[in-house]
Amino acid sequence: MNDDDLVQQFRKGRKDAFSELVRRYAKPLTMMILRLVRDQEDAKDISQTVFLKVYEGLPGFMMASSFKTWLYSIALNAVRDHLRVRKRSPIADCDFDDFPDESASVSDLLDSARMRKSLRDAIEQLPEKQRVTFILRIYENMDYKEIAAVMGGTEGGARGNFFQAVKTLRQKMLFGEARGYANDNGRVPYPEKG
One domain, residues 82 and 7: yes
What lies within 8 Å, CB to CB, of 36 at 6+ separation is: 79, 83, 90, 91, 92, 132, 135
User: Last residue of a domain, which of 96, 128, 148?
Assistant: 96
Please give the pLDDT value at position 93.
Answer: 43
Total domains present in the chain: 2
Model confidence pLDDT, tens digit, residues 115-140 = 777 788 888 888 989 999 999 998 88
Query: Domain containing 78: what range?
Result: 1-96
pTM score over 0.85: no
Reported as a single tens digit per residue, the pLDDT across 28-64 is 999 999 888 888 999 999 999 999 999 999 988 988 8
Residue 37 sits in the same domain as residue 81? yes
In a domain, 110, yes or no: no
How confident is residue 99, by pLDDT bands cut at 50, 70 and 90?
Answer: very low
Percent of the chain scored above 70 by pLDDT? Answer: 76
Do 63 and 25 share a structural domain? yes
Q: Is position 103 within any domain? A: no
Asked if residues 82 and 42 have their Cβ atoms less than 8 Å apart, the reply is yes
Q: Kindly state whether residue 107 falls inside one of the protein's structural domains.
A: no
Mean of pLDDT values over 11-17: 91
Rg of the chain in Å (alpha carbons):
19
pLDDT class for 189, splitting at 50, 70, 90? Answer: very low
